[in-house]
């Protein structure tokens, strides 16, 4: 069983804060350009997760540092993923009539909807790029890149991080099943 919830906060220039959380208290945070280029994925946040078995539910509370949000957040989307391998499904908050291609593993940018972020976070200054984003951009620009092929995925190996995330989730569910 694979369970996760993810959110995308999209700002100027398709800069995106992408957060994925799971019921065992595990999470990963990406600072991204567009849907494919992850610049930074080693960020931390406060996260509390509560799982109940009778009745079954999962409740999470996260505290996202303001400096993780990109400049001028103007779009948002969220999704939950659940199910076993061949029956895994993704429920997306904002979808359109066009079906999602089977290769999508995240809520797509094209379906994100407008959000008035200043009303959500009164202390958010949408006019400035945060120090975290400035550092991530500088680190990415100064990192060696192979220019012969497009750069996609995480600096720490997207498939590896995803596999570890999935393995951790699977181990947690197996632990719950046999408790």
Sequence-distant (6+) residues with CB within 8 A of 18 are 6, 7, 8, 29, 30, 32, 106
What tokens does 121 get? 């976070």
pLDDT band at 17 (very low <50, low <70, confident <90, very high): very high
What is the reported pLDDT for 100?
56
Q: Which of 118, 101, 122, 119 is nearest to 110 (CA)?
A: 101
**pLDDT per residue as tens digits for the range 147-161:** 544 444 444 333 433
**pLDDT-derived band at 33, boundaries 50, 70, 90:** confident
Residue in the block written with tokens 């991204």: 32
Higher pLDDT, 5 or 110: 5
Three-class DSSP category at 125: coil
Give 47-78 as a 3 state SS string.
Answer: EEEEEEECCEEEEEEEECCHHHCCCCCCEEEE
pLDDT in tens, 87-135: 777 788 887 666 655 555 556 667 788 888 878 777 777 888 999 999 9
Cα of first residue to Cα of last residue in the chain, in angstroms, is: 16
Q: What is the pLDDT of residue 3?
A: 79
For the chain, the domains span 4-177
Higher pLDDT, residue 37 or 161 = 37
CB 90 within 8 A of CB 81: yes
Burial class (CB in 10 A: 0-12, 13-18, 19+), 114: exposed
Q: Report pLDDT for 55.
A: 85
Selected residue with higher pLDDT from 100 and 22 = 22
Per-residue model confidence (pLDDT) at position 63:
93
Is the whole-model pTM more than 0.75? Answer: no
Instruction: Specify the pLDDT at position 108.
Output: 62
39-86: pLDDT as tens digits = 887 899 999 989 888 888 888 899 999 999 999 998 998 888 877 777
E strand residue ranges, the chain: 4-10, 15-21, 27-33, 37-40, 46-53, 56-63, 75-82, 89-92, 113-114
H helices of 11-157, where?
A: 117-120, 131-142
């Amino acid at each position: 069983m694979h369970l996760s919830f993810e959110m995308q906060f999209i700002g100027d220039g398709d800069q995106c804060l992408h957060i994925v959380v799971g019921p065992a208290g595990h999470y990963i945070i990406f600072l991204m350009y567009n849907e494919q280029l992850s610049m930074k994925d080693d960020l931390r946040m406060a996260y509390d997760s509560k799982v109940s078995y009778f009745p079954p539910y999962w409740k999470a509370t996260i505290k996202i540092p303001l400096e993780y949000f990109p400049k001028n957040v103007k779009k948002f989307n969220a999704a939950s993923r659940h199910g076993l391998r061949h029956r895994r499904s993704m429920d997306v908050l904002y979808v359109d009539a066009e079906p999602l291609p089977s290769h999508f593993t995240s809520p797509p940018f094209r379906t994100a909807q407008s959000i008035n972020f200043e009303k959500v976070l009164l202390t958010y200054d949408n006019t400035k790029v945060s120090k975290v984003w400035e550092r991530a951009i500088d680190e990415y620009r100064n990192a060696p890149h192979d220019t012969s092929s497009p750069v996609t995925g995480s600096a720490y190996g997207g498939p590896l991080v995803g596999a570890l995330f999935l393995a951790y989730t699977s181990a947690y569910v197996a632990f719950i099943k046999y408790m």
